[in-house]
Chain A
Amino acid sequence: MRILVAVDQNPYSAHTVGEVAKLAANTWANVSLLGVQSKRVPKNEGSDAKTRSWKTDGPLPNVLSAYRDNFLSYFKEEDCPYTEREFGYKMIELRKGLWEELYVCKSAKKNFRALIRIGNPVKEILAEAKEEETDLIVLGCDTSQGCSWENNMAVPQKVANDAACSVLVAKKEKKVERIVCCLDHDRVSQQSLEMINQLVTLHSAKLTIVGFAESEGIKTRVEKKLDNVLRYYHERDIEPWIEIAELSSLDTFIAQEAQWGLMALWMGKMSILEKALPKSKVKKLIKGSESSVLILR
């Protein structure tokens, strides 16, 4: 699994890094920590310059170093898959039939990188995820501050809307007791089920699968999909609850179920939820939801 953690300098990012460290300790995922240096100067910095100059010892690189140390501190040295252990000479095959003894650092079992990109945060996060074939983008936000990042940018909302992979918007200090997964009637990808499974395991959380009914006519299709998902879990000795909700009461449903800590929405290209939840609503959900939100793709 490849995880991209997008961070800024706010406390929720420190919390997000901690959450990812816990997931990484379970999964030994390849992790990239990405900070984006926006070219725009934040209004509260009060500088006359219109663009911000880049310094390697600036606040973002410093905070990124602190996040890296914090991330690695979650692992005992002997159990850490990310630390390089020894330097020395090693025979490397340069091409078929040609070997050379090179002085190398024997690589760690898994990759952990701390990166900074310069530009528009949303574009840079999406570009990094695409280049690295990321499976999951994780980023944090604070609901009490409208889930905005620097310069009042709705970075989590936009990334969740536009990413090609799954996105987890982590809210601070909310214990995940139950993962409420709103089912997509058209397609439930294997990858999305696997992502849920890892999060269920991580949080030792219970699972609810929700099927949305548009009208009486669609009920059989919803049931069939629910049955398939249920069988998938029963074969793995997991017994999720299932629940039916009317699409017309989607907003109320989501507001009520947000108490459980993590709400997952399948948002495929032809997804019923994509139709029922236009981008503006997804943004609203991420902005206002007490619980963390996982957009599955």
Chain B
Amino acid sequence: MSDEEKTSILILDDEAIVLKRLRPALEKAGYEVETFVRSSDASSRITERQFDIVITDLKMEGLDGMQFLTQVKERFPKTEVIVITGFATMDTVKESFQKGVLDFLAKPFKLGEILETVKKAETKIKQADDS
């Protein structure tokens, strides 16, 4: 990823209201953002291109977030994944980290909190690129 390129983010959440809130905030912060309500659509999108960061909800109809993040990490190990969930349990936290996610955010959260996490992911990606 060169300095000139915008960091790309894919957000998957079946609650449109969450996407409506996140997308403009992240775009305003300078990121390139694509949002998906349906996990099947997000799943086919990652076969077309790589994203630097993926933010995904866990509890969704059809392909759940855990399956989706597994697909992402298998396909693009360098993509940093952030999990957001409204129904957090110790097991989901554990499983998420075992699958290599960078961070886990329980809803509700303020925009500042997710921006902070995205910045952390971006720094990690830059450091990996530089080394």
- Does B bind A? yes
Question: A residues within 8 Å of B by Cβ?
Answer: 1-2, 25-30, 79, 91, 93, 109, 133, 135, 190-195, 197-198, 200-201, 235-236
**Known interface pairs A79-B94, A235-B61, A236-B59; A135-B110 also in contact (CB < 8 Å):** yes
CA distance A233 to B118 in the complex (A): 29
A190 touches B17 (CB 8 A): yes
19 new A-B contacts, CB < 8 A, other than A26-B106, A192-B108, are A1-B107, A1-B109, A2-B109, A26-B90, A28-B93, A79-B93, A91-B127, A135-B110, A190-B15, A190-B17, A195-B108, A197-B86, A197-B107, A198-B86, A198-B87, A200-B87, A235-B14, A236-B59, A236-B87
Query: Can you show 21 pairs from A to B with CB atoms below 8 A apart?
Result: A2-B109, A26-B93, A27-B88, A28-B88, A28-B93, A28-B105, A28-B106, A79-B90, A133-B112, A133-B113, A135-B109, A135-B110, A190-B18, A190-B21, A191-B107, A191-B108, A193-B86, A198-B106, A198-B107, A235-B14, A236-B59
Pairs of residues from A and B, 9 with the lowest C-beta to C-beta distance, nearest first:
A27-B106, A191-B108, A194-B107, A194-B108, A197-B86, A27-B88, A1-B106, A201-B87, A26-B88
Across-interface contacts of A25 in B (CB, < 8 A): 90, 93
Across-interface contacts of B88 in A (CB, < 8 A): 26-28, 198, 201
Contact code string B82-97 (vs A, CB < 8 Å = 1, else 0): 0000111110011000
B105 touches A1 (CB 8 A): yes
B113 touches A2 (CB 8 A): yes
Chain B residues touching A, majority SS: mixed
Across-interface contacts of B52 in A (CB, < 8 A): none
Across-interface contacts of B86 in A (CB, < 8 A): 193-194, 197-198
Across-interface contacts of B123 in A (CB, < 8 A): 93
Across-interface contacts of A192 in B (CB, < 8 A): 108
- Across the interface, A28 reaches (CB within 8 A) one of B59, B61, B104, namely B104
- Across the interface, B87 reaches (CB within 8 A) one of A2, A29, A190, A197, namely A197
CA distance A30 to B88 in the complex (A): 14
Closest A residue, CB atoms, query B3 = A96
Across-interface contacts of A195 in B (CB, < 8 A): 108
Closest A residue, CB atoms, query B18 = A190
- Across the interface, A1 reaches (CB within 8 A) one of B90, B103, B108, B126, namely B108
Contact code string B10-32 (vs A, CB < 8 Å = 1, else 0): 00001101100100000000000
CA distance A89 to B28 in the complex (A): 33
A290 to chain B, nearest CB (A): 27
CA distance A295 to B74 in the complex (A): 43
